[in-house]
Chains A and B, each alone.
Chain A
Amino acid sequence: DIVMTQSPDSLAVSLGERATINCKSSQSVLYSSDNNNYLSWYQQKPGQPPKLLIYWASTRESGVPDRFSGSGSGTDFTLSISSLQAEDVAVYYCQQYYSTPPTFGQGTKVEIK
């Protein structure tokens, strides 16, 4: 199984400041035949299901604010929130869907400083 490791486990950021979450996979999730990274990011607020933010490592899902962006390739990926808003307080998960089983990172809790 591909192991997904996120860092940090939690972070506190001031309103309006940038939040950065890292995700590392134990093997590459870049599929050479289509040059896509099979990596997604989800946001989960308390008592709610996860919400898809980013897929193909950097493609924003429809309706997701453009302050959310994803980057990286191969084994190292980043989710950035350019200007943290109060409604962004949540746990964020990366996920690889390159191989079965699809696996998630352990989650990163984002709070307001």
Chain B
Amino acid sequence: EVQLVESGGGLVQPGGSLRLSCAASGFTFSSYWMQWVRQGPGKGLVWVSRINGDGTSTGYADSVKGRFTISKDNAKNTVYLQANSLRAEDTAVYFCARTKAAALHAFDIWGQGTMVTVSS
């Protein structure tokens, strides 16, 4: 079964850090671009970051550039999002998602999400 499972969310103070993980199974992980998308409480979907199959190309939303870092460990079938200098506005459910085929494509598999709350 094709599956993505996120972990690593929690409550963190402003300025703090978290490392989110997304474990993949059921497909050839190294062949796919992976994405992080977040959704604030009661809000819509916002793209955060993406990484290519071999981990050599990354992209970020302007709102997280310089604070978040995406990485991929194909030996562990896991994609990570290192979130530093967290702000209240980063509070959201963070989903990882698989890009369907190529770099520019729809997101066909989504994890259940992990909640990040930034508050003092």
Contacts and interface: CB of A to CB of B under 8 A. Distances in A.
A97 B106 contact: yes
Interface stretch (A16-24, A71-79, A81-89, A98-106): A98-106
Contact of A52 (B44, B95, B104, B106): B106
A17 to B, nearest CB: 26
B59 A100 contact: yes
Contacts, number: 53
Given A55-B100, A103-B47, A104-B47, A49 B113 contact: yes
Interface in A2-49: 38, 40, 42, 44, 48-49
Contact of B106 (A40, A44, A49, A105): A40
A52 to B, nearest CB: 5
B61 A101 contact: yes
Counting chain B CB atoms within 10 Å of each CB, the highest count among A51, A93, A102 belongs to: A102
Given A101-B61, A104-B44, A51 B110 contact: yes
Contacts of A105: 44
Contacts of B45: 42, 44, 50, 93, 95, 104, 107
A-side interface size class: 20 to 34
Given A49-B95, A101-B59, A101-B61, A93 B44 contact: yes
Contacts of B113: 49
B61 A38 contact: no
A44 B112 CA distance: 11
Contact of B100 (A42, A49, A52, A106): A52
B93 to A, nearest CB: 9
Nearest to B101: A55
A103 B111 CA distance: 19
Interface string B55-66: 000010110000
Given A55-B106, A102-B35, 6 more contacts: A52-B106, A93-B44, A97-B106, A101-B47, A104-B45, A104-B46
Closest 10 CB pairs of A and B: A49-B110, A40-B106, A55-B106, A104-B45, A52-B108, A102-B47, A107-B44, A101-B47, A106-B44, A97-B104
